[in-house]
Amino acid sequence: MNTATEISTPLRLYLVRHGETAWSLSGQHTGRTDLPLTADGERESRELEERLRGIHFSQVLSSPRLRARQTCESAGLGQQEQIDADLAEWDYGDYESQRTSEIHELRPDWNIFQDGCPHGELPMQVADRADRLIVRLRKRDGNIALFTHGHFGAVLGVRWIGLPVIQAEHFTLASASLSILGEDPRRPGMPVLALWNAKSTNASDPASRRGVDDQAGMRTRALERWENEGGELLNQRRFDIAGEK
């Protein structure tokens, strides 16, 4: 009988936003609409495989939306994929397929993280969904990959570190970006953003500042492609690996 005690490894969540879609380029809110990746979206999703290679994932969870599932497959983790409905994007209701600029014509002060969407989800509903997922994930250990979306990913990030959902407006996510949610090794139990919005092949290394999307040209491209599933351009702030402004 083997009496050896299996040592658990700390929980680390590898949060991946899906690759580019046609509505990423056109700036339309993409919630329930099941669009595939563009050719560029497939390419940048395949680049994720290099970033994630060599990492053992105890579980791989994906939004049920096609764009997230295709990103997971292109990243080389399709065989481990499990669908988790809580990872789905914000339900935009009446604002599905609209651009932020179009919404602002009727509601100049509209902010999804404050106001939500008519006949769609309210901010607290999305926050509750993120909290429910976090409670489930905290019961596990090891590396877990999460393939999700721009707005929901931002909410998951701020709820992981205990911030109110309105603060998610400051946390942008580029297409096919990688973020890591974990704990401070010096203060067990203290949730941190070990990496945020990385677009580099060094993204799997949270100690590497090269893994952060901090190049001017890359920032411009990320903003252009940050679909209005993620698309507020108001009050944007960059966060480095430690999560500071």
What count of other Cβ atoms lies within 10 Å of the Cβ of residue 90?
Answer: 29
**Annotated catalytic residue, options 89, 96, 121, 232:** 89
Does residue 105 have an active-site annotation? Answer: no
Q: Which two tokens stand for residue 85?
A: 């409905």
CB-neighbour burial class of residue 79 (10 A; exposed 0-12, middle 13-18, buried 19+): exposed
d(CA 237, CA 245): 7
Does residue 89 have an active-site annotation? Answer: yes
**CA dist list (Å): 178 to 118, 119, 148, 193, 204:** 30, 31, 11, 11, 8
Interior/surface letters 97-136, b for 16+ CB within 10 angstroms, e for the rest: ebbbeebeeeeeebbbbeebbeebbbbeebbebbbebbee
Torsion over CA: 109, 98, 218, 181 (sign): positive
By annotation, the residues acting in catalysis are 18, 89
